[in-house]
């Protein structure tokens, strides 16, 4: 764990109010690149039209106005880069560190292979606690497809949960 991550963990909920201190410089750069992609008209604010345009480039052509308005209303005001970063910070606040999440999965992987069977994970996620819907399971398998033997790489899932992107092989 980096020194900065340790300080952040020790600060807990009462940490720095500066949103930029919540992230490593490389993460801020990645969020800035994402912001720039979403800000289609390059005016420094993510608007409903920007969201509509970026979703259209990803193949979602018939997004309802109400859905776009709900997305924009998640922010307290106009979505500039600082607000955008703050929204991510709020979503990630309280998320467990990667090693804690990996340890939880390891309980399901007594041989320490780094993967678990798709059927086993699906059964757990659809029958225990906050149960996944069929659509959520479809989305999970689309994002993290099992290998040909039906195994799911849970370390990759943990990495994406905590870092927001897949590790490059």
pLDDT at residue 11, rounded to an integer: 39
Cβ-based burial of 98 (10 A; exposed 0-12, middle 13-18, buried ≥19): middle
pLDDT at residue 157, rounded to an integer: 87
pLDDT at residue 33, rounded to an integer: 92
- Dihedral sign computed on CA atoms, order 107, 109, 112, 114: negative
Helix (H) or strand (E) holding 83: helix 81-92
pLDDT range class, residue 117, cuts 50, 70, 90:
very high
Query: How far does Cα 82 stand from its chain's mean position?
Result: 18
> Domain ranges in the chain?
21-91, 98-163
Measure the N-to-C terminal CA separation of the chain; round to a whole number of Å: 21
Q: Residues 133-169: pLDDT tens digits? A: 999 999 899 989 999 999 999 988 888 877 766 555 5
Higher pLDDT pick, 12 / 86: 86
Contacts of 65 (CB under 8 A, 6+ apart): 48
Q: What percent of the chain has pLDDT over 90?
A: 39
Instruction: Count CB neighbours of 19 within 10 A.
Output: 18
pLDDT range class, residue 109, cuts 50, 70, 90:
confident
pLDDT range class, residue 97, cuts 50, 70, 90:
confident
98-163 fold: Recoverin; domain 1 (1.10.238)
pLDDT at residue 42, rounded to an integer: 94
The CA distances from residue 114 to 32, 135, 154, 157, 158, in Å, are 32, 25, 6, 11, 11
Best CATH choice for the domain 21-91 from the list 3.40.50.1470, 3.20.20.70, 1.10.1270.20, 1.10.238.10:
1.10.238.10
The CA distances from residue 160 to 1, 16, 67, 68, 155, in Å, are 17, 25, 25, 25, 9
Q: What is the pTM (predicted TM-score) of this model?
A: 0.50
The CA distances from residue 5 to 98, 115, 165, 168, in Å, are 12, 27, 18, 22
pLDDT at residue 2, rounded to an integer: 44
Q: Residues 12-67: pLDDT tens digits? A: 433 445 778 777 888 889 899 999 999 999 999 999 999 999 998 888 888 899 99
pLDDT at residue 94, rounded to an integer: 61
Same fold, 21-91 and 98-163: yes
The CA distances from residue 61 to 31, 36, 50, 55, 109, in Å, are 24, 20, 13, 7, 41
């Amino acid at each position: 764990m980096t020194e900065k991550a340790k300080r952040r963990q020790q600060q807990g909920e009462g940490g720095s109010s500066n949103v930029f201190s919540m992230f490593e410089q490389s993460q801020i750069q990645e969020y800035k690149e994402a912001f720039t992609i979403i800000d289609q008209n390059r005016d420094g604010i993510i608007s409903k039209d920007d969201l509509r345009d970026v979703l259209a480039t990803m193949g979602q052509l018939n997004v309802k106005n109400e859905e776009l308005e709900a997305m924009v209303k998640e922010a307290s005001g106009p979505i500039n880069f600082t607000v955008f970063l703050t929204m991510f910070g709020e979503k990630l606040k309280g998320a467990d560190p990667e090693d804690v999440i990996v340890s939880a999965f390891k309980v399901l992987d007594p041989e320490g292979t780094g993967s678990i069977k798709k059927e086993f994970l699906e059964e757990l996620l659809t029958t225990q606690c906050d149960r996944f819907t069929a659509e959520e399971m479809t989305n999970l398998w689309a994002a993290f497809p099992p290998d040909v033997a039906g195994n799911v790489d849970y370390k990759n899932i943990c990495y994406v949960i905590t870092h927001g992107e897949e590790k490059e092989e």
